[in-house]
Structure 1
């Protein structure tokens, strides 16, 4: 599956066709086995696992990983090491790579991240989700009540595969009006194992919610969601309530695994469910 732009060397994604029985089995392992471990134990195990990729020897994984996952052998030339480093010192450095130059776009609204658009629907058409003993609406993802998100808003969920760029950017110019950390689980994110409800992990996983109010006084709700092996979800410098953000300004980054949900006052104009989106292309 390819994107409609040429911003990246290799903007592709494979939507796996998992047999029904296998999807149910993976969902059982994720939700009923791993998901029933205490959340703090999930985070401890995930942190321990992710720490492997901070070790200097993990740098040796980068080159074969690129050969295996990208058709363009020069893919990495579009990016630079993070945090002002001169070299990728470990695999985690590759994972949180930075653009040398962010995509430029004249559109007022852009996608905040790169990945598979695995869910896209009007809020009014979304069904309630059963999570353990609770029934939750889509507003729960954003830490809000139903009345806080207009029914005509559009909910989107972008799944970031391990190979994707893992920084989240602002989709608009605006003012940050809310930041919320929601503790939770770290169940598996891969949407193809949840079939009818690819966004199920967003309702229960640990996440940061950020509201950005645009010039028309419309609120864009973002939810930055962690998964297994996520060591940290880190907000970027200067991201605080009351702060002004410009379109494509960095909001956060993931240290392994992630999903980004959004409830927006307009619907995507060029993308539908199960298509690939990129940072900075028109929303």
Structure 2
């Protein structure tokens, strides 16, 4: 499967065709075994696992990883190390790489991230999800009550594979009206093991919710969701309630693993479920 644009990134990856029985088994391990462990324990294990990628020796993985995962062998030339560094000093530096330049177009709405669009539907048509003993609506993802998001809004879920660019950007010009941290689990994010509901982890995992009001007074709801091996989700500089953001201004970054959900007053014009999207291209 390929991306739907000729932009300079390389968001596509192999989507595993997992047999139903195996998907159910993986889901059982993720939800019923790992997901029932205490959240603090999940985070400690994830932090321990991810700590290797902060070590200088891990930078030796970068070149082989690029050869294995990207069709463009000069892929790294499009990026720069984070925090003003002159070199990638660890694999984590590569993981949170920055584009040297972001795309330029006239579209008022753009995708905030890159990855697989694994879910896309109106809020009205989305199914309720059973989490342990609770029934939850899509508003739960964004830390809201049912009915607070208009039913004609479009819900999208972009799964970010390990190979994807892991910074999240504002899809619009607007003003931040709410920031919320939701503690939760860190269950596996891979959408192909949740065949009935690829967005299931978004309803229960740890996340940051950011609401942005556009120039027409409409609220765009963005949820930045962590998964196993996520060291942390870090909000970017000047991302505070009341601050204005520009289209493509960085909102946050992930230290390993992630999904980004959005509830928007308009529907994607160029993408459908199970296609790849890229940061900054027209929504």
Which secondary structure state, in structure 2, belongs to the residue aligned with residue 148 of structure 1? coil
**Is 1:215 equivalent to 2:215 in the alignment?**
yes
Tell me if structure 2 keeps the 8 A contact 1:115–1:277.
yes
5+ long unaligned stretches in structure 2: none
Q: Which residue of 2 aligns with 1:66?
A: 66
Unaligned runs of 5+ in 1: none
Cα deviation 1:73-122 (Å, max 9, x = unaligned): 10010000000000000000000000000111110000000000000000
Q: TM-score, normalised by structure 1?
A: 0.99
Does the 8 Å CA contact 2:12/2:116 hold for their aligned counterparts? no
Q: Which residue is 1:23 aligned to?
A: 23
Q: CA deviation at 1:164?
A: 0.2
**1:9 CA displacement:** 4.6
Match of 1:39 in 2: 39
CA RMSD across the alignment:
0.7
Q: What is the TM-score when the length of structure 2 is the normalising length?
A: 0.99
Distance 2:13 2:54 in 1: 26
Judged with a 3 Å threshold, the aligned counterparts in structure 2 of structure 1 residues 9 and 137 are, in CA distance, closer, same or farther, namely: closer
Deviation of 1:11 (Å): 3.4
- How many residues are aligned here? 283
State how far apart, in whole Å, the 1-side matches of 2:161 and 2:225 are.
13
| Aligned-partner Cα distance in 2 for 1:156–1:165 | 18
Distance 1:144 1:11 in 2: 31
CA contact (8 A) 1:113 1:260 kept: yes
Structure 2 distance, partners of 1:197, 1:182, is 21
2:133 is equivalent to residue 133 of structure 1: yes
1:266 aligns with 2:257: no
Residue 202 of structure 2 is matched in structure 1 by 202
Contact 1:9 1:72 in 2 (8 A): no
